[in-house]
Amino acid sequence: MHNAINLWPLLGIAVVVAGFLLRAHPVLVTMAACAVTGLAASFPVTHILESLGTAFLKTRNLPLILLLPVAAIGLLERAGLKEHAQASIARIQSATTGRLLTVYLFVRELAAAFGLTSVGGHPNMVRPLIAPMAEAAAEARVGSLPDALRQRIRAMSAATDNVGLFFGEDVFVAFGAIVLMQTILRAEGLEVDPLHMALWGIPTALSAFVIHAWNLRRLDRRIFREAGMRT
């Protein structure tokens, strides 16, 4: 006879979702989710507090690792990194916002496919370099940009990084999700080679590249169309 599975600990997921919807502080949301999950699993309160303390001690150096690159990027921006990036892209006559982001999409996805997921990212690449260069490419073609269009270009810059990373890393054979799927399938009696799973991620990665590149082409058309409306 199979033992009944206690699904009440999954309430912690609902707490996380509710916390993000309410835009509560992430640390408070995480602690609340841990407390709800532990209580639903009938853990003693002391055990829950010990688990939180152990997790804190293991990750106490993580904020320092995350803040050091941000500080370095801040110093580079103070020295004119954004202005130099905009001036460099403005000198390339054939550059458009869509073409620039398509090149970045290709580089980001290819690097992620080889496991180089740190090549890129919102704080260390998109905000200080890619987004300013995308805006400069648009301004070099159509002049000043309305605020709504500028925000859309920034959003598409961030989305390009997300798409390249998300679909590129699925091709990497040592990606955590592939290992997780192999473990689950093995528990069900199915032996699957991780290399084959990674190879099946290639069609999805190529499709994602083509679809997003088309969206970037549409972004170029929208930039030129809104510029024509203003003139």
pLDDT tens digit string along 8-43? 888 888 998 898 888 888 778 888 888 888 888 888
Q: What is the pLDDT of residue 219?
A: 93
pLDDT tens digit string along 65-83? 556 666 666 666 666 666 6
| Burial of 151 (C-beta count, 10 Å sphere; 0-12/13-18/19+) | exposed
Q: What is the pLDDT of residue 105?
A: 95
Q: What is the pLDDT of residue 109?
A: 93
Segments making up each domain of the chain, as ranges: 8-58, 93-230
How far is it, in rounded angstroms, from Cα 19 to Cα 58?
A: 24
Q: Got the DSSP string for 145-210?
A: --HHHHHHHHHHHHHHHHHHHHHHGGG-TT-HHHHHHHHHHHHTT----HHHHHHTHHHHHHHHHH
Which segments in the chain show pLDDT lower than 70? 1-5, 56-93, 174-175, 228-231
Q: Which residues contact 206 (CB under 8 A, 6 or more apart)?
A: none
What is the token pair recorded at 187? 């528990």
Q: What is the pLDDT of residue 125?
A: 85
Q: What is the pLDDT of residue 231?
A: 42
How far is it, in rounded angstroms, from Cα 32 to Cα 38?
A: 10
